[in-house]
Amino acid sequence: MGSIDTPTITENGSTQSHAAAPAADGDQKPHASANGAPVEMPPESEATKRRRASMLPLEVGTRVMCRWRDAKYHPVKVIERRKVPYGGANDYEYYVHYTEFNRRLDEWVKLEQLDLDSVETVVDEKVEDKVTSLKMTRHQKRKIDETHVEVGHEELDAASLREHEEFTKVKNIATIELGRYEIETWYFSPFPPEYSDCLKLYFCEFCLNFMKRKEQLQRHMRKCDLKHPPGDEIYRSGTLSMFEVDGKKNKVYGQNLCYLAKLFLDHKTLYYDVDLFLFYVLCECDDRGCHMVGYFSKEKHSEESYNLACILTLPPYQRKGYGKFLIAFSYELSKKEGKVGTPERPLSDLGLLSYRGYWTRVLLDILKKHKGNISIKELSDMTAIKAEDILTTLQSLDLIQYRKGQHVICADPKLLDRHLKAAGRGGLEVDVSKLIWTPYKEQS
């Protein structure tokens, strides 16, 4: 499977780019060679210079081609602009959204990165939306009116989506330091106002308190006596541990975790009321302590049979099978509860890929081994996966037919083999014998 672009993570503080190039846009633009790379241009004429200068500063809403870190040009939309300190009247930096890609790639760029010859001349003019009373460009309004379908946002209505985009349009914290990693963030997170002037935050990797300065963190680390998440260790296998943290008993930890997670989760509301949640924190343990790899949260009581609210693998640990481990773990907990479960919607692009991958592999493994007929209900009982998720997964694999008013699984062995081959790696296994856990019960 190809890679969806994710921003940079660096170890030991050095900065480097690891993101792969987004798919070629096919749209050739001026000043770009056939493969999208910039080419040497003859000196600009005075008329060209004057025409370009007359466009500046670019308006918010402008669509233009922008040189990305892969040195190729991609279409962007200007989301925000800010004056360059000590610059001239028209010297601005622009916060851009690469229109073909997820918002996690949005970033501040310099004017030199923009190809002014590709500026679309019709600049969006601000209009007021009658429903939300929010000022927006005509283009934004049209997009919403047409029912916006950005990945991960399908289930937000137009007004909520607009509000979400308006308040979270510019990333506030650019990087965080957590343990031995410096990590570029992906999205806006609503940190308290006193942190609004910070581009970088320093997190204690154990209690997740965050600070503005490295020296504060160093002082904190000398005093902090946690070496693992608070709460109960409910799983240990080799160097992997899972801790269950009750949001009610560890409120500050739960809130810190939510602030941190929101930097990588676009479409989730930040819950300040963490009392209602349990947090399952996955750690890699060594002699220095238990280092957080990722987590998932779970409502203590879910009327919609959600067995997972938010899931995150921290970027330095992604694509190593931890996400599928966390998903598998959430279903093991559901099995112990004797319930079926499903993740809370909407799923992000990466969330959907991970879930699809997990459901596919689990169901194919059973169908491959099973002799005779099997129903969706039986599959659901065996796996704790909700029947609807089983149905959509099998439908996407073309393993289901609708006959005489009911769905029938048609598991042709050759097709199963083909799908299993394509399903890739299974992820890290959960060893159920190492799980020591009883379902949550309200304490009086």
Ligand X SMILES: CC(=O)SCCNC(=O)CCNC(=O)[C@H](O)C(C)(C)COP(=O)(O)OP(=O)(O)OC[C@H]1O[C@@H](n2cnc3c(N)ncnc32)[C@H](O)[C@@H]1OP(=O)(O)O
Q: Which residues are catalytic?
A: 344
What are phi and psi for residue 48, nearest 5 degrees?
Answer: -65, -45
Alpha helices (H) in 384-431, listed in sequence order:
387-396, 413-422
- CB atoms closer than 10 angstroms to residue 413: 9
Residue numbers at the binding site for ligand X (CB under 6 A) = 1, 3-4, 6, 264-265, 308, 310-313, 318-324, 343-344, 347-348, 350-351, 353-354, 357, 424-425, 427
> Among residues 191 and 264, whose Cβ is nearest to ligand X?
264
DSSP one-letter code for 43: P
Quote the CA–CA distance of 124 and 145 in Å, as a whole number: 15
Q: Using an 8 Å Cβ cutoff, are 322 and 315 in contact?
A: no
Q: Using an 8 Å Cβ cutoff, are 73 and 32 in contact?
A: yes
CB of 4 to ligand X, least distance (A): 3
Quote the CA–CA distance of 219 and 233 in Å, as a whole number: 27
- CB atoms closer than 10 angstroms to residue 218: 11
DSSP string of 137-191, one letter each residue:
EHHHHHHHHT----TT-TTS-HHHHHHHHHHTSS-S--EEEETTEEEE--S----
Residues 6+ apart with CB under 8 A from 47: none
SS3 1: coil
Which own/partner contact pairs does 10-19 have at CB distance under 8 Å and 24+ positions apart?
A: 10/181, 10/182, 10/183, 11/180, 11/181, 11/182, 11/316, 12/180, 12/182, 13/177, 13/182, 14/182, 15/182, 17/69, 19/69, 19/70, 19/105
Q: Which two tokens stand for residue 38?
A: 């910039």
Length of the chain: 444
Any idea which residue has 């048609």 for tokens? 410
Question: Which of 137, 119, 117 lies closest to 128, judged by CA?
Answer: 137
Beta bridge partners of 112: none
Count CA within 13 A, CB hemisphere, residue 67: 16
Residues 6+ apart with CB under 8 A from 269: none
